[in-house]
Amino acid sequence: MSGGTTDPVSHRVTVLLYSDDLTTRDTVRAAVGRRPARDVEVVSWTECATPAAVVTEVERGDYDLLILDGESSPMGGLGLTRQLKNEIFECPPVLVLTGRPQDGWLAAWSQAEAAVPHPIDPIALASAVAELAREPR
């Protein structure tokens, strides 16, 4: 047995994060961290504060996962998710941040693969990110 070995990271992901609120973006990045799970590593974050910036970035096709804030203004992450899912070929998986737990039906309507409600629970958010990162594309 060799000492000092670490578990290999089998899922490295690039994440696009959308919220018009800098505090929300900071909270999400801190909650997810660099390693949301042993086998999952976030290798890069791109932050967007406007829907137009999100569309431009996603059209480039460089992301493994999108985290969109449903409480953003002028366009929330739920409507933006639905737009992306209907307009972008092979849109990456989307995790939406909903206003409350009861808004799960809105996440389903938006075609998001996962939802986590505000206020952000770091364990739930990291777990959801890890699960989406593990899903085959």
For 23, the 3-state DSSP assignment is helix
pLDDT per residue as tens digits for the range 27-61? 999 999 999 999 999 999 999 999 999 999 999 98
Q: What is the pLDDT of residue 9?
A: 82
Is the pLDDT confidence value at 136 over 80?
yes
The string of DSSP codes covering 63-95 is: -SEEEEETT-SSS-HHHHHHHHHHHSTTPPPEE
- Kindly report the pTM of this predicted structure: 0.93
The answer to whether residue 47 is domain-embedded is: yes
* CATH code for position 23: 3.40.50.2300
CB neighbours of 112 closer than 8 A, spacing ≥ 6? 68, 78, 81, 94, 95, 96
The answer to whether residue 2 is domain-embedded is: no
Is the pLDDT confidence value at 1 over 70?
no
pLDDT per residue as tens digits for the range 83-118? 999 999 999 999 999 999 889 899 999 999 999 999
The domain in which residue 125 lies consists of 11-134
The answer to whether residue 41 is domain-embedded is: yes
